Amino acid sequence: MIFDWKSRIRDWKKDLFIHTQNRLTLQYSVLIMVFLMLFILIVYFLINTIISYQQKQELESIAFQQGNIIRNAIQDDAISARELDNLRANQESGTQFFYYVVRPNGQLLFGDEVIHPLQPQILQLLQGWVPQENDIRYATVDIHPHGHDRHRSIDLMMTGRALFQGDQLVGIFYIGKDISFYNQLIHQLLTTLVILGVLFLGIALLLSYFMSKRAMIPIRRSFNRQREFVADASHELRTPLSILNSSLDVLQMEEGEHLSDFSQKIMSNMKDEVKRMTHLVGNLLTLARSDSGSPHLQLERFDLVPSVEQLVQSTQTLANSKMLSLRLKAPSRLVIQGDHERIKQLLYILLDNAIKYTPDSGEVSLTLLVQAYEKQPALQIVVQDSGIGIPPEEQEHIFDRFYRVDKNRSRQMGGTGLGLAIAKWIVEAHHGTIQVASTLGKGSTFTIIMPVVDETA
């Protein structure tokens, strides 16, 4: 059987319960993922904000204290050795990475840094910057490796104070703090949160899967009981309906001449309704069997063309009654591998619908051809009519059971809304696809592709 693995995928997709269970699992998982992402973002930004605020406060406090010392020293035209020792002590304790006092023209008066080769880079970053109140800047300086040393960079948080003597700017005090450790800590925290989020998401997926599976158990049991009831009821109804139809035939043959016109009309209406009920019960039984999970197909190798020609001839009478042009386009021979009766039923459903919903003097065409489908030969069936068409918003529902676009018109024509549902089941049981393209008032085109062509023919 060709397309074996693809048919399994389609069968899996066709299982209503598995599809519903997967949708529930996906929805629960997406919801949990959204909450996890919100939790991770809130925790990350909260901790990042708190740490950043603490670092800013600490740097501002040092800048305020050291700035006052240097401002007083400038006013006294000298800075004591004790004050310089305090500046160096803060640097050695790690609370500051550098401090500089620079003239307005950019000339360095004095200062120091933890890593002396970085002084040109830092001064370049500070050039032209006159810090305002609570003015914070961030920058990164690179430490160029020597020999086998590993290249690394340092993240700096910088601020400063403008130094005035009277109203004249005489210098700028800059101070910077190494925040590389805190940045790394924040990045590691984010990485840890993401890893934990992925881990919990995996756990949530498993929990969602098992919970949705357990939730589907009573629904599956209820559906199975309903399906068995429909199948049993349909099967049991076939016998009394057959007896009732036969009894009406006997009654009409024996007493037909003695019945009044009114009674004969009632007899004829009863026979029509019995036939309609028999057809409906047969369709219900077919759909009940389709729900059982196994296709119930009797696969055989046969030439489709003679069966189609016979089918067109049998529907020609109905087409002639409406003065329709019924055309068949098919090759002289088309050998396929499939269920002969089901494929004939499929073609009858499509032709019957096309003839019913095409106004008088319209056109209906049936085309059979072989085309490449996923790199293998496949049967393409195209049924086209010039009928009333299907509204765009209705097209996605026409294959649903008991769905009818125009309920009053369908009831008058004897439709039950099950024909296209059965047609779709027959196509999918043969691992094919069915599509409809329709324009309101201009007609409809049903296209079926089934990988049933016998390559050995």
Q: What is the mean pLDDT of residues 350-354?
A: 91
Per-residue pLDDT tens over the stretch 203-244: 888 887 887 778 777 777 776 666 666 656 655 666 676 777
Q: How crowded is residue 121: how many other Cβ atoms within 10 Å of its Cβ?
A: 19
Asked if residues 428 and 14 have their Cβ atoms less than 8 Å apart, the reply is: yes
Residue range(s) occupied by CATH 3.30.450.220 in the chain:
1-142+151-217
Per-residue pLDDT tens over the stretch 170-195: 889 999 999 988 889 999 998 998 89
Percent of the chain scored above 70 by pLDDT?
78
The identity of residue 174, as a single letter, is Y
Q: What pLDDT band is residue 437 in, cutting at 50, 70 and 90? A: very high
Per-residue pLDDT tens over the stretch 27-80: 878 888 888 889 889 999 999 999 889 989 988 888 888 877 777 766 655 555
For 299-450, which CATH superfamily applies? Histidine kinase-like ATPase, C-terminal domain (3.30.565.10)
Asked if residues 447 and 435 have their Cβ atoms less than 8 Å apart, the reply is: yes
The identity of residue 24, as a single letter, is L
Asked if residues 101 and 163 have their Cβ atoms less than 8 Å apart, the reply is: yes
> How far is residue 129's CA from residue 160's CA, in Å, rounded to a whole number?
9
Is the pLDDT confidence value at 5 over 50? Answer: no
**97-106, 268-277, 292-301 — which one is most confidently predicted on average?**
97-106
Give the pLDDT confidence score for residue 12 in this predicted structure.
40
Residue range(s) occupied by CATH 3.30.565.10 in the chain:
299-450
Asked if residues 154 and 184 have their Cβ atoms less than 8 Å apart, the reply is: no
Is the pLDDT confidence value at 4 over 50? Answer: no
Q: How crowded is residue 177: how many other Cβ atoms within 10 Å of its Cβ?
A: 22
Higher pLDDT, 236 or 425: 425
For domain 1-142+151-217, which CATH number applies: 3.40.190.10, 2.40.420.20, 3.30.450.220, 2.20.25.90? 3.30.450.220
